[in-house]
Amino acid sequence: MFKHLLVPTDGSDLSRLAAARAIDFARETGARITFFAALPQHPVSFHEGYGLTDAGTRERLIATAEQQGRAILEPLAAAATAAGIAAEAVATPCATVHDGIIAAAMHHGCDLIFMASHGRRGIGALLLGSETQKVLTHSKIPVLVHR
């Protein structure tokens, strides 16, 4: 039924566990996987004189974020490939994580978003929000939440 999974990850233990389960799921269903990391956007400057003043600071921040994204994604893609799953790793700057996840799923033609939930409940969930909840609320693509 599902042929292309988007597996967003933030490098946490929970998201790595979800990625391992996504690999199992892909093996069982014959799907391929796109692992995704949302990178922070780094503005050129801020309003009223506050912001980045060194010309190279923005480039260093971007390079560091890309390096961190690769460090998170490459082991997951390698594990999927070792399991016989076609996999790719994509790290993209995003204004908001949930919008980045949904946009990546649409851009790569994924038919399922397979993601972890940190399982916050009560006031913590209310105050902190949840990227998983935001994806569930806004995505038109089915979402499978691993807990």
d(Cα 104, Cα 116) in Å, to the nearest integer?
16
The predicted model scores a pTM of 0.86
Residue 127: pLDDT band (50, 70, 90) is: very low
pLDDT single digits (tens) 80-99: 999 999 999 999 999 999 99
Query: Quick one: how many helices (H) and strands (E) in the chain?
Result: 5, 5
pLDDT single digits (tens) 7-30: 999 999 999 999 999 999 999 999
Beta strands in 9-146 (DSSP E): 32-40, 87-94, 112-116, 143-146
d(Cα 9, Cα 25) in Å, to the nearest integer?
16
